[in-house]
Amino acid sequence: MTEIVDMLARRGRLEQAFIGGDWVTPQGQATCEVVNPATEAALCRIRLGTAADVDRAVTAAASAFPGWSDSAPATRAALLARIETLMDAQAETLAECMSLEMGAARSYARSAQVPLAMAHVRTAREVLEGFEFQSPRGTTAIRHEPIGVCALITPWNWPLYQITAKLAPALAAGCCVVLKPSELAPLSALLLADLIAEAGCPPGVFNLVQGDGPGVGAALAAHPGVDMISITGSTRAGIEVARAAAPTLKRVTQELGGKSPNLLLPDADLARAVPPGVAAAMRNLGQSCSAPTRMIVPRAALPQVEDLAREAVAQIVVGDPFDPKATHGAIANRAQFDRIQTMIGVGIDEGARLVTGGPGRPDGRETGFFVRPTVFSDVRTDMRIAQEEIFGPVLCLIPYDDVDEAVRIANDTRFGLGAHVQGTDPAQARAVAGRIRAGQVHLNYPAWDPHAPFGGYKQSGNGREYGREGMLEYLEVKSILGFYAPAAS
């Protein structure tokens, strides 16, 4: 076992849930093996919670809610500031943890997984510090009040980032939470829980119960004491949570699957547009719901785009996550590795032309969930590889003949999470962005903006995360009519 796993084991964290401000033993006996994706060896086993543990956590959160919801915004902002400071102090440990549990290259965990997670905490504090919880509209007072107890269900691909994207705005709004991280990548959540406790979070405001979807996830979704559930995961998982939540009419926000387009307009500078597009599609080894894995290109430019894509992929170094030379590590788990291999085979069988990559592991890799970054060309929009979320480093080059066709291809998907548009004419790029049915569109690879709301159209979910809109999801709106009426004479 590594030092991080040893430390968590010594503290007893692998066998515990965090409920009501204390680390406690779950009531069930079920466990889950945590596997190192780079070696396929077991790191440890964690103990899973049960519906009874969910009930304990929800009860603790409900008990803490009156005090936390009534706390001053400055008090909540101060807690977020302390959490961010502690995360920064433990950034190296958190990064190493994610390299172990989900295979991210250490360089990427350091440069993206941890700092972007911290950015969500900072952004929630900034939103809170400028937020008016009550404002006049004529003689009516419009109040924003915390919704209550929130269940947060987070995935394995960005294990820390996805937690803070939900947790920070929920705490800022004055809600109490029960977190269920992915049982496949649970270790960074345990480290974060210790930091939250160290930051002085009041008992019951934050709770953590390990578990799988059918067990703990379903119990949270159905629990009558949960006022809201926020899930990031597959469309299938989002549907199951919504079904379980329906009888209690709780609010459900979902950030689900994607098949994002990257539309290169006829005037795009290909040398500037293609390499960053390949990098964006391959970031986190394609294990990002908003990864732009459909590059839609002018038909006449297809040969040049293929050459540029091939050159860009050649710069990717897939290897041991702890190798300083590795730009990309391993796929997070066996099921996802198998899914990617299957879909590469599907692309070949469908008649798409392989530009680079293909099935199997990279040369020299006999074990570990390592995959070959793959680019297909001459992809038709009706092919499975153009329609289904592969969730791996597989890029589809889809040619078009005119801009109207390009927009139709971009929208020819059941998803609508993210999109990219590249072009040198700002007016045309903005106009095309307005025609794409997606919750977030990037023009010419702008810098990431943690204040920009993020969420999907269609089967990519509902609700928004990040920034002001992200915090609004955790607030109810109350109107008090006559609040500002003149006093009776």
Question: Which residues are marked as active site?
Answer: 255, 289
- State the sign of the Cα–Cα–Cα–Cα dihedral 301, 307, 309, 311: negative
- Token couple for 19: 């409920």
Rounded CA-CA distance 213/241 in Å is 9
3-state secondary structure of 219: helix
Long-range CB contact pairs, 75-80, < 8 A, 24+: 76/128, 76/171, 76/172, 76/174, 77/125, 77/128, 77/129, 77/172, 79/171, 79/199, 79/200, 79/201, 80/121, 80/122, 80/124, 80/125, 80/128, 80/168, 80/171, 80/172
3-state secondary structure of 29: coil
Beta strands across the sheet bearing 475-480? 134-137, 140-146, 475-480
Angle 46-51-57 (CA atoms, 0-180°, nearest 5)?
A: 80
- Token couple for 420: 């990219």
Rounded CA-CA distance 450/458 in Å is 23
Which stretches of 315-457 are DSSP H helices?
Answer: 334-350, 384-387, 403-411, 426-435
Rounded CA-CA distance 236/342 in Å is 19
Alpha carbon 173 to its chain's center: 20
120's torsion region: left (phi>0), alpha (psi -120 to 50) or beta? alpha
Residues 6+ apart with CB under 8 A from 87: 94, 114, 117, 118, 121, 192, 195
